[in-house]
Structure 1
Amino acid sequence: MDTEKCLITRRSIFPEQFTDKEVAKGDIEHILAMANWAPTHKRTEPWRFKVATGRAKEDLAEFFVSLYKENTPTEEQSDTKIEKTRSKVDKSAAVIAICMQRDPKERLPEWEEVSAVAMAVQNMWLMVTALGLGGYWSSPGTIDQMHRFFDLAEGEKCLGFFYLGHHAEEHKTGRRDPIENKVEWL
């Protein structure tokens, strides 16, 4: 797939659209290797990834459910929400935690490192699209609790999750307002 087609067909593919087909470990490694080529100021390379498959994925689903139950009053809890929380992990071939390791010397503003991680995720998303896979980035409201599941290093934090899987959707061009509405020539 050429670069332009990859850019305009990249879109969120959600776990309910995934098939049962596994994603090869080699494909996941390739996707992450391409993430590693994102731009990074002062070469801090702040992106970190934690890949959950198999049993780890099941444990992650249960952790998400437990957080939902902990953070939702009993009378407001919904079996549908619990099942949806579990299902999006179960239906994914892999769930990749998107983390950021802050430069210990804080040589640059944190937003630049968050941006570098976002660019790494964009590289992942483009590679996923090029491979004919699907995925999406989600950041749950309980993102600040991920240290309870993952062994995060000092200065490392979780910024969200990339859900990955095969799908049967056709590549469609996304929708955007015209660029002319967003550019001011000086």
Structure 2
Amino acid sequence: MKEIYREMSKETGINEKKLEKYDEKAKQISHIITICMRRNPESKLPEIEDIIATGCVIQNIYLMLKPLGIAGYLSTGDICYSEQTKKFLNLNENERCLGFFQLGIPLNDIKLPDKKRIPASEKTEWIDGN
């Protein structure tokens, strides 16, 4: 990812702090899963449906992390959607990079903050079809 960032920054200039951040992250993670979507050019479905289906795959990865003792998160942003990344991954016009899932083993002394869950009923509005 660091090399892709260098390539992307040729015109705008390289931010050395950002390069250092890539180095720090590389020390914390063991694997990166590149999440890509391949669209069937003959599909009659809107592209958004393929994107949503890929999002479901990402959610399933999240659900399996804790039982496997793995920590991880999805990273997106300019680097993910850049032409440089598309070229690096050798993607064709029917393929799209949607993110990088970064994985590692959590340190024993790190505790995740308690997150206050908002009940679904407070976020859901049911509409009567009548």
**Contact between 1:89 and 1:95, CA under 8 Å: does it hold in 2?**
no
Provide, for residues 114-169 of structure 1, a one-character-per-residue CA deviation record: whole Å limited to 9, x for no partner.
00100001111111122111111111213132112112244011011101110123
Q: Structure 2 matches for 1:49-128, cutoff 5 A? A: 60-67=1-8, 69-70=9-10, 73-74=12-13, 77-128=14-65
Distance 1:87 1:63, change over 3 A: farther
> Scaled by the length of structure 1, what TM-score is found?
0.58
What CA RMSD, in Å, does the superposition of the two structures yield over aligned residues?
A: 2.1
Equivalent residue pairs, number: 123
Instruction: Tell me the amino acid that sits aligned with residue 62 of structure 2.
Output: W
Q: Distance in 1 between matches of 2:29 and 2:95?
A: 25
What residue number does 1:135 align with? 72
Match of 2:117 in 1: 176
Deviations 1:27-80 (A, max 9, x none): xxxxxxxxxxxxxxxxxxxxxxxxxxxxxxxxx43223432x325x33xx4322
Q: CA deviation at 1:171?
A: 5.8
| Deviation by residue 1:87-112 (Cα, 9 ceiling, x = unmatched) | 32343101111100012212211111
Structure 1: give runs of 5+ residues left out of the alignment. 1-59
State the structure with more CA Rg.
2
User: SS of the residue aligned with 2:10?
Assistant: helix
- SS at the partner of 1:106? coil
TM-score by length of 2: 0.79
Q: Which has the higher helix share?
A: 1
